[in-house]
Chains A and B, each alone.
Chain A
Amino acid sequence: MQKPVKRGSGMGISWYNPRVRSIAYQAGVLAAVIAVVWFFTATAQENLERLNISTGFGFLDTTAGFGIIQTLIPYTEQSSYGRAFLVGLLNTLSVAVIGIVLATMLGFVVGVARLSRNWLVAKIAAVYVEVMRNIPLLLQLFFWYFAVLRPLPGPADSIEALPGVFLSNRGLILPDPVLDAGAGLFFSALAVAIVAGYVLVRWARARQRATGRLFPALRVTAALIVVLPLLAWAVGGTPFHLEYATRGAFDFSGGVRLLPEFVALVLGLTLYTAAFIGEIVRAGIQSVDRGQAEAAAALGLKDSTTLRLVVVPQALRLIVPPLTSQILNLTKNSSLAVAIAYPDLVAVFAGTVLNQTGQAIEVIAITMAVYLTLSLATSLAMNWYNARIAFRER
């Protein structure tokens, strides 16, 4: 192992040469890692053959034969295990994405609230953080699922919160929007309004930088986003109508359904993660030197403007890296879904599919690879964002 390294180094081949030593160590470590991986793979292979357990990934094309209660893509019992995998993956992703968005928003609110000069607001935020982050997530999920959502009345006596919105132990049933003739015009108007708003905001910012004159870009944008689609509605006719769920013998049919399992999972993940994000945001804001806010105040900026333009941009540099790990945590924690029967990737694929095919190694390997890929992709995106907002010396 040592010889080729020494010969190849081309300079002093003494052990006192740090280059030679470092290459030798690294080669050794690499060899050890390869050996360990090889050893485990070979052992597993040998044992599986000996025990007559099927191997390989052919099972992904086999008919799954079981039903899943929430599918975002068309899926029937005749679909393959591969399709079931996609269904589980999308269920995981939907919980993760919704949870991340909600937790980040709530976390920012909580973090800012903790620093509020209003005693009550600050204390409420503090109690929220301490309660939420000190109770295990699994217990919180159980609380939301078993204690809050389960005792809701059955579909026959469901609570009709708004016309067409039913709350029962079968979930939250919302009316289903069905597109009409006016939809094209309506949504193009909306898109135009958003693009125009974006351009307007950029223009206003550039102008302010150049001349110092303010333009109420955000308010105008909001007005655009409301008015343009309404105009389109008036011209092109109704963009969509709501199809209400109807009550059948057992349950509602039609409508959009949010399962109690889904709601409990999103609630639990959001509230739990938001507590941590709140602390991260608070730490980030407190890390900004008080002089910055005082200077802004001396210039006559309002509190909200100070926060938005002076404090938060500087705080973000400290907030983003730990925020990334909270986002990763939320994604990974979504696998607790299995405890409350939400059909996520772990429940569907590493649960039912594993049990039916018996191919534990392949299924677990795929599942782990999925979480690894999700995490790495999230990290990559957050690192890119972090680099963009990083402090640039001018």
Chain B
Amino acid sequence: MRNPVAALLLGILIGAGGLYFMLPYDAAAVLSGRAEVAVSAGGAVPDVDRAGAGETLQRIKRRGFLHCGVSQGLAGFSSPDERGRWSGIDVDYCRAIAAAIFGDGEKVRFRPLSAKDRFTALQSGEVDILSRNTTWTMSRDTQLGFDFAGVIYYDGQAFMVRKDSGITNARQLAGATICTQTGTTTELNLADYFRGRGLEYRVLSFEKNDEAISAYDQGRCDGYTTDASGLYAERLKMQRPEDNIVLPEIISKEPLGPVVRQGDPQWADIARWTLSALLNAEELGITSENIEEMRESENPLVRRLLGAEGSYGASVGLGPDWVIDIVRAVGNYGEIFERNVGVDTPLGIERGLNALWTDGGVMYAPPIR
């Protein structure tokens, strides 16, 4: 830089910029005209104000669609078909939220995430909600800055082995090599199970579930482990599904549920009550087929759920017809379950624990009133 005037200007600019950033926060705020905020908050901008209750919903509305984090392909939970359309329980839940917000279950974009990347993606705001067969655990709830919205599927971890190995229960797996996906509770439960019984084992952890499956399928491992629902889903992908069996032991509790970032209570409420609405709709017999008739119902429970009485939608920033939109878009919880993983699907999973509490299951949603 030959020109001394330009050099001088550059020097001053860089110096001033440096000074500005090095000033204490308040002073910088005063200088940049943010004085009122800083003063009124007593020198520090309060957290809640910045995280902004309702900020997530506003951002989604401005954007015009929901960003939903799903798996990279797990049949019955979230997997794309040959035309790229996503389906599954976790996918339908996101469509339900989109319907509650926009009245249109299609206003959602799915982002496939690996088990390893999913939490970072949610923390960084890349997705608005993580609906990705994620187990609700204390450490995830408390240390990662997340809130779980509830349980959408009660699962448990199990093992799959080759039929010709002659193994009939998990205790016979001593000394076996087990394939699994890295960054999951599965990896930890596996360790707990073998450690608790003093059994030897080797674990081979893959970054992608498909890689773990193919490693097992090609004989690199003696067994493969993940949630029982996942085992049935993954078995469909194998060269010869009928040559593999799922062992009867369930070695862990895996309550799977949608996750949101902490700090926006309204958004957490929307996530929680969308799930509750799906369950309550099933309990009250509201389906995607009879929803129009149900609008005329005299049952006060139905009237409250469908927005004919009270203003429950408005209390979470949604319209009065939010549940009607949800049920129109995806049906109730039972319909979602039967459509994606139920006995008439290739997965053929019984309701079991996931039946409503009135039918002997543990699905019990808090009432909407």
Contact = CB atoms under 8 A, between A and B. Distances in A.
A358 B15 contact: no
Contact of A49 (B19, B47, B116): B47
B366 interface: no
A66 B25 CA distance: 42
Contacts of B192: 65, 77
Nearest to B116: A355
| Residue with the greatest number of chain A CB neighbours at <10 A, chosen from B18, B172, B263 | B18
B203 A339 contact: no
Contacts of B219: 154, 169
Most buried by B among A24, A48, A67, A339: A67
B31 interface: no
Interface in B193-211: 194-195, 201-207, 211
Contact of A1 (B12, B184, B215): B12
A50 B51 contact: yes
Contact of B175 (A36, A253, A261, A338): A253
Contacts of A24: 7, 11
Interface size on B, as a range, is 35 or more
B218 interface: yes
B140 A1 contact: no
Interface in B205-253: 205-207, 211, 215, 218-220, 222
B182 interface: yes
B130 interface: no
B200 to A, nearest CB: 8
B188 A356 contact: yes
B251 to A, nearest CB: 14
A6 B266 CA distance: 57
A339 B207 contact: yes
A15 B18 CA distance: 21
Q: Classify the secondary structure of B's interface with A.
A: helix
Contact of B206 (A28, A76, A341): A341
A292 interface: no
A250 B145 contact: no
A1 B191 CA distance: 59
A2 B183 contact: no
Nearest to B223: A250
Interface in A149-193: 150-151, 154, 169-170
A2 B12 CA distance: 7
A352 interface: yes
Contacts of A260: 220
A1 B176 contact: no
B190 A67 contact: yes
The winner among A51, A54, A250, A260 for most chain B CB atoms within 10 A is A250
A176 B353 CA distance: 50
Interface in A247-286: 248-251, 253, 260-261
A65 B189 CA distance: 9
B8 A15 contact: yes
A31 B15 contact: yes
Interface in B152-181: 165, 172-177
Interface of B: 4, 7-8, 10-12, 14-22, 25, 47, 50-51, 115-116, 119-120, 123, 139-140, 143-145, 165, 172-177, 182-184, 187-188, 190-192, 194-195, 201-207, 211, 215, 218-220, 222, 261-263
Given A2-B8, A343-B205, A347-B207, 12 more contacts: A1-B15, A27-B15, A28-B14, A28-B15, A35-B22, A38-B21, A67-B191, A170-B177, A251-B202, A347-B182, A352-B183, A356-B183
11 contacts: A15-B4, A32-B14, A38-B22, A67-B191, A251-B176, A251-B202, A253-B175, A341-B207, A358-B143, A358-B144, A358-B145
